[in-house]
Amino acid sequence: KREGQLFLEIGTGAGHCTIDYCIDHPEQHFIGLDYRFKRSFHLAKKLSALEFKNFRYLRAKGERIEYMFDENELDGIFYFFPDPWPKTKHNKKRLIQETFLKSAYKTIKPGGIFYIKTDHDDYAEWMDREIKKQSDLFEVILESPDLRSEYPDHLLAKYTTGFEKIFLEQGIKIKAFVLRSKK
C-alpha cells in the first residue's frame, strides 16, 4: 500500500546484495524470497535490526510467484546465482524454463525488467535457449558472457552477492541477461 516501485529477488540468500541495493534506493520497495530455512531465519533477524523498512522477506519458492503477486504488480525481478542443477537428470529443477518465464511475465508490469546473473556456463546456455523460446514475452536488452569486463558500470556489476564474490576471486566470468517485458 506504499508508493514506489516494487522489485522481487528470488533466492535472496544472506541478503548482502539486496540490503546494499535498498540502502541506495530508499524510494523503491523490495521483497526477498528464499526457501532455505537457515538462510531465511538469519536474514529475517538481520532485517529486523535495520533502520530502513523498504525491504521485506518471504520464505517461499520462486516457482510460486504468480500465486504471491498480482498480474502486473512487479516492476522487476532479480535472479542471481541460482543452483545450476548441473546433472542432466536434475535439469528439470532449473527455474528458468517455459512455465516460470510465463509466470514472471504475468507478474511483471509492461516494460518491467528481469535481471539474471550466473557463474555457470551450461546454465547460462540453457537460459539463453529458454529465453529465446519465449521471445514473444521478453526482449533481451543485455546478454553478456563476461559482465564485469563488458559492462563494468551496469547496475548488475555494481551490486555483488556473497556467491559472486567467491566466483570472482576464482576468476570465473559472470554471465548476465537483462530482459524487458514485451507487454
The CA distances from residue 178 to 79, 144, 151, 158, in Å, are 10, 9, 12, 14
Confirm if 98 and 155 have CB atoms less than 8 A apart. Answer: no
- Which grid coordinates are listed for 60? 517461499
Phi-psi region of 90 (alpha: psi -120 to 50; beta: other; left: phi over 0): alpha
Catalytically annotated residue among 20, 24, 70, 83: 83
Amino acid at site 71: E
Nearest to 163 by CA among 84, 96, 45: 84
Nearest to 118 by CA among 11, 43, 31: 11
Residue 83: active-site member = yes
DSSP H helices in the chain? 16-24, 37-48, 65-68, 98-107, 121-133, 147-150, 155-158, 162-169
Bridge partner residues of 176 (DSSP) = 117, 144
Which are the catalytic amino acids? Answer: 83
